[in-house]
Chains A and B, each alone.
Chain A
Amino acid sequence: MNRLVTASAMALIASLSAANAQTEIQWWHAMGGELGAKLEEITKGFNDSQDEYTIVPSYKGTYPETMTAAIAAFRAQQQPAIVQVFEVGTGTMMAAEGAIVPVHQLMEEQGANFDPQAYLPAVVGYYTDTGGNMLSLPFNSSTPIVYYNKSVFEKAGLDPNTPPKTWAELEEFSKKIKESGAADCGFTTQWISWIQTENLSAWHNQPIGTEQNGFGGTNARLTLNGPVQVKHWENLKRLSDEGIFKYGGPVGGDNAAPMFYSQDCAMYMASSASRAGVLANAKDFEVGYGMLPYYDDVEGAPQNSIIGGASLWVLSGRPDEEYAGVAKFFEYLSTPEVQADWASFSGYLPITQAAMDQMGTFYSENPGADTGIKQITLNEPTENSKGLRFGNYVQIRGIIDEEFEQLLSGSKDAQGALDAVVERGNALIAEFEAQSQ
C-alpha cells in the first residue's frame, strides 16, 4: 500500500514538472485526412524547433462543427488558444470583441517579429479591419479557377491550350462541345454562393453589400441583387435549361466533381485547392487550367477574385505564457519555408510574398498550380474585391443556394431570387446586429 502511494505521488510530481517545463497550447482545427496529417507534421516541426511550447492540434470535424465547438467551449470557459475558422465565420468572430485577441495586437504585445507588409494583401485583406490591421492569420486560402478537359476540347475541334476567357466564349465552346458529342454538358461548378455569386461580384468589381462589403461595420446590408449578378444568374438558368450547365448541388456542390471526372461535363469551376483531387481523378484525360470567365461588357472586369478557406483566430482568456507561444508559432507558420511546403502540398495559396517567390520552381514544374495566385493578384483589391464580412453568413450562404434552386425550378426569375436573397439575408444580418449590441 505504502509503495503504491509513493509511486503514484512520484508519478504526480513527474507529470507536474513535465507540465512546468513546456506550455501546452491547444489548437482546434477542421483539417481531416491528408491535410490533417500535413498539419500535424507542421506542428511537430514547430514543437521540435524549440522546447518551451508544445502545440497540441485536435481535429474537431467540419468547419461549422469546429467553430461551434470553440464557441461552446468559450461559453464554458474551456476554450483553446487557437481555433481554425472558415471565412464565412469571420463576421461572427470579429464581432466577438472580448472573446478574441486580434493577431496584430497579439504579435505587438508579445514583441514578435511581425511585418504586416510581408503578407499578400489579396490574401490577408479578407482578415483585416478597415484600418489594415490583421485580425486572424490566414492558414488555408484558395480561390476558384476553371479546370477543363483538354481531351474533350480536342475532340470538339477546340484548341486544347486555350480556356475560355469570357462567359460568351464559355457558352460558345460549350455549344461546340455538346454539338460535336465530345461531352454531354459544357460546365458544372462547386459553390453557387462562393463562386457564382461572391466571386462573380468581386471579379466584376460589383459590391456584395454596403459598408465596403461589410468591412465597415455590422450595420452593412447586402446589395448583391445588382444588374451584373442578375444577368449572370439569368444566364445560368438559361444555360441549365439548354443542358449546357449542370447544377452540382447546394453548399460545396458535391455532385459537380463526379460530373467532371466522368467526362460528362467538359469544364469545372472549383477551388484552386481541388487541384490535387482533380489530378488524382482525371485518369483518362488531360486537365487544363484557366481563370474564371468574365463578361467583357462590364467595365473593370476582370478585377481580382476573392479567397475562401480558413484562418486562425486567437481566443482570449488563456494564461499569458500561452499567448507568447502562440505568437512564436504564428511566426513559424509565416516563414517562407513552412508556407511554401504547405502551399505546394495542399494547393492552398501562400500568404507572404517571400513564400510565393520561394515557390517559383514549384510553379514552373506544375503548370496550372499558379492560376489561383495569379488571379487573386491580378489587380490591387478594391472595396468590392477585398472580401466580405457579414454576420450570420453561414445561413445566408444557405439562402443563396435555396434561392438559386428556386430559380432553377422555375418558381422565381433571377431578379426575384436575388431580391429574396437580399431581403432574407438582411433580416439575418439585422438580427446579428441586434445580438451583438
Chain B
Amino acid sequence: MKRTLFRNQLLPWLLLAPQLAITFIFFLWPAAQAVRQSFLRQDAFGINTTFVGLSNFEALWNSPEYLNSLQVTAVFAVLVTVLSMGFALLLAVAVDRMIRSTSVYTTLLVWPYAVAPAVAGILWWFIFNPTIGVMPYFLDAVGYDWNHISSKTDAMTLVVIASAWKQISYNFLFFVAGLQSVPASLREAAAIDGAGPVRRFFDITVPLLSPTTFFLLVVNIVYAMFDTFGVIDATTEGGPAQATNILVYKVYFDGFVGQNMGSSAAQSVILMLIVIALTVVQFRYVEKKVAY
C-alpha cells in the first residue's frame, strides 16, 4: 500500500471535511435522533414527551408481531439470497463458456438491475394479480388456485420472486467477473488429470469464486433486508396477516402510518445494529479469512 505523508496537519482534515460533513448530516445526526427517540414516548404531534427508558424495546421483545416480523425477514432474506445467487451463478457459468457473444448476453442480463424496486414490484403485481394477471390464469390451467391476497405462501413467493429477479443481474455481473479471473490453466491442468466438467466446477471454480460468493452473500442479505421496501410496498404491503411484513416495512408502517415514533425508532435502532454487524463481518472476513 502506498502511504502519503502530509507535512501540514490541517490539510488531511480539510480534504476529508466534505465527506465527513455528509456522513455527519446524513448518517450520524439522524442515527443519533433515532437512538434518542427510541427512549421516548411521544404523541404524533410531538406535544407530550415522556422518557420511558428501554420500554419501547421491551414492548418489541414481547410483541408477537415483531417476533413474527423477525422470522419473516429471516425466511425472506435466505430465500431471496439463495434464489438470486443460484440463478446468477448458473447464468454466469453459461455466459462464461461463450466466446464471442459474452458481451451481448451480459448486457441483456444486466437490464433488470436498472429497474427501480417499486417498478419491479408493480410489474410482478400485474403478472400475478389474482383477478387480471397472466400467471394465475396459467396456474389455474394446471389446477393451482393462486391468490397472494389470502394465501401467505403465495404472497411470500411473489415478493421473493420480485425481489430476487432484480438482484440476479447484479450477482451475475460479479460472478462473470469472478469467473473470468479463474485462471484457465488450472482448469486445463485438471482436465488433463482426468477431472470431468462437474468435478472441475466444484473443485476448482467454486473455491476460487469464494471471495466473490462471500461478498455477494453479505450484499444480498443487506439488499433483501433493506432495499426491498419498494417491492413489498407495491405488492403486498406486508400482508396477508403480516406474512410479508419484513422489519424495514414494519419500521415504516409503525412510524409513518401508525405514528408510533418511539416504537418505530426502537425498531430502526435494532436494524442499525444488524447493519453494523453485517458490515463488520464483511470487512473482517471478506478479504482475510476466505481461502483462495
Residues of A that sit less than 8 Å from B by CB: 64, 68, 71, 74-75, 92, 95-99, 247, 249-251, 255, 258-259, 262, 392, 394-395, 401-403, 405-406, 408-409, 428, 431-432, 434-437
Q: Could you tell me if B258 and A71 are in contact, using CB atoms closer than 8 angstroms?
A: no
Which of B150, B237, B260 has the most A CB atoms < 10 Å from its CB?
Answer: B150
Q: Which chain B residues lie closer than 8 Å to A250 at the CB level?
A: 149, 237, 239-240
Q: Could you tell me if A431 and B44 are in contact, using CB atoms closer than 8 angstroms?
A: no
Name B41's contact: one of A405, A409, A435 (CB within 8 Å). A435
The answer, yes or no, to whether B132 is at the interface (CB within 8 Å) is yes
Within 8 A of A (CB), among B127-141: 129-132
B132 to chain A, nearest CB (A): 7
Q: Could you tell me if B241 and A405 are in contact, using CB atoms closer than 8 angstroms?
A: yes
Q: Which chain A residues lie closer than 8 Å to B129 at the CB level?
A: 255
Complex: chain A residue closest to B263, CB-CB:
A431
Q: Could you tell me if B41 and A68 are in contact, using CB atoms closer than 8 angstroms?
A: no
Q: Could you tell me if A71 and B150 are in contact, using CB atoms closer than 8 angstroms?
A: no
Q: Could you tell me if A71 and B45 are in contact, using CB atoms closer than 8 angstroms?
A: yes
A306 to chain B, nearest CB (A): 22
Q: Could you tell me if B257 and A409 are in contact, using CB atoms closer than 8 angstroms?
A: no
The answer, yes or no, to whether B47 is at the interface (CB within 8 Å) is yes
Q: List 11 A-B contacts (CB under 8 A).
A: A64-B256, A68-B256, A71-B45, A74-B45, A255-B129, A258-B131, A395-B254, A435-B44, A435-B48, A437-B48, A437-B50
A353 to chain B, nearest CB (A): 34
A270 to chain B, nearest CB (A): 16
Complex: chain B residue closest to A79, CB-CB:
B45
Q: Report the bound CA distance from A249 to B239 in whole Å.
A: 10
Q: Could you tell me if B259 and A71 are in contact, using CB atoms closer than 8 angstroms?
A: yes
Name A405's contact: one of B44, B46, B239, B257 (CB within 8 Å). B239
Q: Could you tell me if A249 and B256 are in contact, using CB atoms closer than 8 angstroms?
A: no
Q: Report the bound CA distance from A304 to B244 in whole Å.
A: 37
Q: Which chain A residues lie closer than 8 Å to B132 at the CB level?
A: 258
Q: Report the bound CA distance from A435 to B261 in whole Å.
A: 10
Q: Could you tell me if A64 and B257 are in contact, using CB atoms closer than 8 angstroms?
A: yes
Q: Which chain A residues lie closer than 8 Å to B48 at the CB level?
A: 435-437
Q: Could you tell me if A92 and B259 are in contact, using CB atoms closer than 8 angstroms?
A: yes
Residues of B that sit less than 8 Å from A by CB: 41-48, 50, 129-132, 149-152, 237, 239-242, 253-254, 256-260, 262
Interface residues of chain A: helix, strand, loop or mixed (majority): helix
Q: Could you tell me if A435 and B43 are in contact, using CB atoms closer than 8 angstroms?
A: yes
Q: Which chain B residues lie closer than 8 Å to A255 at the CB level?
A: 129-131, 149
A247 and B149 contact, Cβ closer than 8 Å, known pairs A95-B43, A258-B132: yes
Q: Report the bound CA distance from A436 to B41 in whole Å.
A: 9
Which 6 pairs from chain A and chain B are nearest by CB?
A99-B45, A402-B241, A435-B43, A249-B149, A405-B241, A96-B45
Name A402's contact: one of B47, B130, B242, B257 (CB within 8 Å). B242
Q: Report the bound CA distance from A287 to B139 in whole Å.
A: 33
Q: Report the bound CA distance from A255 to B147 in whole Å.
A: 11
- Known contacts A68-B256, A431-B260, A436-B43; 18 further A-B pairs (Cβ under 8 A): A68-B257, A71-B45, A75-B46, A95-B43, A96-B44, A97-B47, A98-B45, A250-B237, A251-B237, A255-B149, A392-B260, A401-B240, A402-B239, A402-B242, A405-B150, A434-B41, A434-B50, A435-B48
B161 to chain A, nearest CB (A): 20
Name B150's contact: one of A64, A409, A436 (CB within 8 Å). A409
Q: Could you tell me if A98 and B47 are in contact, using CB atoms closer than 8 angstroms?
A: yes
Q: Report the bound CA distance from A74 to B42 in whole Å.
A: 14
A71 and B44 contact, Cβ closer than 8 Å, known pairs A250-B239, A250-B240, A405-B150: yes
Q: Which chain B residues lie closer than 8 Å to A71 at the CB level?
A: 44-45, 259
B135 to chain A, nearest CB (A): 15
Q: Could you tell me if A406 and B259 are in contact, using CB atoms closer than 8 angstroms?
A: no
A47 to chain B, nearest CB (A): 29
Q: Could you tell me if A408 and B150 are in contact, using CB atoms closer than 8 angstroms?
A: yes
Q: Could you tell me if B240 and A402 are in contact, using CB atoms closer than 8 angstroms?
A: yes
Q: Which chain A residues lie closer than 8 Å to B43 at the CB level?
A: 95-96, 432, 435-436
Q: Report the bound CA distance from A436 to B50 in whole Å.
A: 10
Name B47's contact: one of A96, A392, A403 (CB within 8 Å). A96
Q: Which chain A residues lie closer than 8 Å to B50 at the CB level?
A: 434, 437
Q: Which chain B residues lie closer than 8 Å to A428 at the CB level?
A: 258
Q: Which chain B residues lie closer than 8 Å to A401 at the CB level?
A: 239-240
Q: Report the bound CA distance from A250 to B237 in whole Å.
A: 10
Q: Could you tell me if A395 and B239 are in contact, using CB atoms closer than 8 angstroms?
A: no
B221 to chain A, nearest CB (A): 27
Q: Report the bound CA distance from A258 to B240 in whole Å.
A: 20
Q: Which chain B residues lie closer than 8 Å to A262 at the CB level?
A: 131
